[in-house]
Amino acid sequence: MKFLVDRSPPYWKNSAEQKEIDESLALFAGSTSFAYHLVETFEFADFVSSLNPRYKLPSRETLKKSVSAIADQIKTNIKGLLKDAGKVSLCIDL
């Protein structure tokens, strides 16, 4: 239930605020088992609106593209870090 009505306009699509939240959402979605279709449900949109009424959720397809772009960026960063490494030891706990 919303008790206060925020009459502020939504963030511009390319605003720093919108982009920052979009990136945070993509990092969250990509690092968890978050189902992308949830961004298109009324309940999730209502929840996000209660946290920040100015934020406009991306579509499921836009979120998928953002997650993919961030994953590519992370891979590139890791490759750069490992490029000059002599030896690498990995430990994975499943």
What digits encode the pLDDT tens for the residues 3-41?
555 678 999 999 999 999 999 999 999 999 999 999 999
Confidence of residue 79 (pLDDT cuts 50, 70, 90): very high
The share of the chain scoring above pLDDT 70, in percent, equals: 94
Average pLDDT over residues 54-82: 95
Which pLDDT score, from 0 to 100, does residue 1 have? 54
Identify the helix (H) or strand (E) that includes residue 49.
helix 42-51
Let me know how many helices (H) and strands (E) the chain has, helices first.
3, 0
33 Cβ contact partners less than 8 Å away, ≥ 6 residues apart: none
Which pLDDT score, from 0 to 100, does residue 3 have? 56
pLDDT exceeds cutoff 70 at 72: yes
CB atoms < 10 A from the CB of 20, how many?
12
37-72 burial code (b ≥16 CB/10 A, e <16): eebeeeeeeeebeeeeeebbbbeeeebeebbeebee
> What's this model's pTM, rounded to 2 decimal places?
0.80
Weakest mean pLDDT among 2-11, 32-41, 43-52, 61-70? 2-11
